Amino acid sequence: MEKKIRYGIIGSGGIAGSHVNRLLKMPDVEIVAMTDLVPGRAEALAEKHGVEGCRFYPSHKELIDSEELDAVSICTYNATHAECAICALEKDISVMLEKPMSVTVEEAVEIIRADRKSKGILSIGFQPRYEPNVKMIKQIIESGELGKIYYIQTGGGRRRGIPGGTFIEKSTAGIGVMGDLGCYSLDMVLNAIGNPRPLTVSGHTSNYFGKSPKYNGADASRFDVEDFAAGFIRMENDIIVDFRMSWAMHADSMGETIFLGTEGALKVPVSGGWGEKVFSPMIVYKDSAGSQIQYETPLLPGVPEGVFYHKLRVFVDAVKTGGPPPVPSEQILYNQAIIDGIVKSAELGREVEIEIPEI
């Protein structure tokens, strides 16, 4: 019989249930251990999903030190992503790290350093990459159909959609809507254009809705992250990214994602306003034979079992073969650097250079 991948779950909050649910559908995976800082929470998660023969630990370090593991999913709050990932990688355990990769670019660099030294692999949890229509965006751009990309508009948000729990305090989340939704939107466009290096950013953040009892009830008193963020990012290769993301606003949309190129443009309607999936045909705008034309791309069917399952399936397959990681940490470094730059620019009230430490 094929040896099963011995798997651990670090953190037992909401997203952990999605990991457990999908992993239980894989006959070559055995969930052997779970941990959470809140007593009884990991046990409750296991009972809810019918995980049998699982051991429980009060901390990620005790779990990692006590178990012979092949892989872990890190589902903790943002502020502990780096600590947990580095701890596992130093033990040569492969890591599926939920987004955002970290809170700061300095933490992201430390994770990548540990990744490079580890015999395990590290993949970052950006499941929209596996949505066929999102993949088509990259294919269209790489085909040269649009010519040279010089401007991208992306972002979006919700009319009302402020989460609670650990999402809304700096001590646990570190960042707000950018870590929850904004990193998805950025990954959709950065991955499509080959992840060029960000150079400068002029950023703005606010939390008018999150701190208002009118809109956020009792949670307003402890809300201290951003519920709105915007950035004007200059990238290498003479590309501009115009980004904005919101948990709450007096609007139903801030527009589609748009790629402007020298030979054409692409308009991408995305669900949720943040790039989870493309929900209607994309439109390409071109000139042809002296006339301005436009055409729709076909809307492709989704992947079997859904993109979240597929994210974990390709990760498990990479663990079994020794890689490469499906979403390498180096590809997400610039995503994190942009978010970090927006935070710093907003604090200083001016444009800043995006500085990335040497790895």
The 3-class secondary structure across 171-208, one letter per residue, is CCCCCCHHHHHHHHHHHHHHHHCCCCCEEEEEEEEECC
The pLDDT of residue 252 is 87
Q: Give 184's contacts (C-beta < 8 A, 6+ positions apart).
A: 99, 126, 128, 274, 275, 276
Low-confidence residues of the chain: pLDDT under 50? none
The pLDDT of residue 2 is 75
Helices 329-348 and 183-192: crossing angle in degrees, nearest 10, is 120
User: Pick from 113, 246, 128, 279: which is nearest to 189 by CA?
Assistant: 128
The pLDDT of residue 33 is 98
Q: Give 121's contacts (C-beta < 8 A, 6+ positions apart).
A: 94, 95, 115, 318, 319, 322, 323, 324, 325
Q: What is the amino acid identity at position 106?
A: E
17 neighbors 49 (Cβ within 8 angstroms): yes
Question: What domains are defined for the chain?
Answer: 5-127+306-327 (3.40.50.720), 129-303+338-353 (3.30.360.10)
The pLDDT of residue 277 is 82
The pLDDT of residue 323 is 85
325 neighbors 317 (Cβ within 8 angstroms): no
The pLDDT of residue 100 is 97
Q: What is the amino acid identity at position 233?
A: I
The pLDDT of residue 279 is 85
